Amino acid sequence: MISRTARSARLGGSGNGAAVPLSYQLYEAIKRDILTCELPPGAAITERWICKKHNASRTPIREACLWLARDGLLESIPNKGYAVSNLSLQDLNELFQLRSVLEVAAIELAIRAVPDPTLLAKAEEISGISYEAGDRLGYFQWLEANHEFHQLIARMSRNRRLVDDLDRVNAHFIRLFYMTMPPNSAAPTFSREHLALIDVIRQGDVDAARQKMADHIQHSKERAIRYFLA
């Protein structure tokens, strides 16, 4: 299990200066290769190959791969190594169903817990991040910012398990959206929807927040399926 200290460091958390373990650094490096499709769906990899690429020993590599397998990004192949997990239309539907349950719960809990104004301000700042159509690096950075936006709302819920679960689920969407980059920038649409979510959180309107989050996830699903099937 990845320590909460390491997770919090990824999200700009504790700030206590604790060193990030090598196994977690490797986890993030391999994960990035998967999310950017440098390791495409179905790709077969071995611990020896990863050790050579990242100049690391097998123990932290094995730990990182176990975490990635738990996240559903790698599949263990007995006596052979690992394969990068595939994404089917069924996977897409199941992930969106789970994401909707978690995100709607997160925004309701965030309002009931009285949102942290610092986290809310950070979420508003992130909402303004954009990218130019066709810019793959800028697009990936925007996807990471989109991921962090939703994690900030989850953190406002003060439910650590929800934060961890949503982090794992939404990582799949970074890869999905990176694989299906739209021809035009989607940033303006997402920015409007994110700012609307922030508004209802500030207003403390639980019913409106639940509905807006459900609508936001549904719009994301419609866009994803459209480009996934293209």
CATH topology match: 4-84 vs 89-228: no
Rounded CA separation 223/98 (Å): 17
- What does the pLDDT look like over 176-200, one tens digit per residue? 999 888 888 899 999 999 999 999 9
CB-based contacts of 157, cutoff 8 Å, min separation 6 = 105, 106, 107, 109, 110, 113, 163
- What does the pLDDT look like over 20-46, one tens digit per residue? 899 999 999 999 999 999 999 999 999
User: What letter represents residue 168's amino acid?
Assistant: R
Name the residue with higher pLDDT: 16 or 63. Answer: 63
Cβ neighbourhood burial of 116 (10 Å; 0-12, 13-18, 19+): middle
Question: For residue 3, is pLDDT > 50?
Answer: no
State mean pLDDT over 151-163.
Answer: 97
Residue with tokens 């965030």: 110
State mean pLDDT over 72-78.
Answer: 94
pLDDT reported for residue 22: 94
The structural domains of the chain, with segments of one domain joined by +, span 4-84, 89-228
State mean pLDDT over 53-69.
Answer: 94
CATH number of 4-84: 1.10.10.10
Calculate the alpha carbon distances from 74 to 35, 68, 117, 153 in Å.
Answer: 11, 6, 37, 27
Rounded CA separation 156/116 (Å): 6
Rounded CA separation 153/111 (Å): 9
Pick 89-228's CATH classification: 1.20.120.530, 3.10.180.10, 3.30.1440.10, 1.10.3210.10: 1.20.120.530
pLDDT reported for residue 20: 86
Rounded CA separation 142/61 (Å): 28
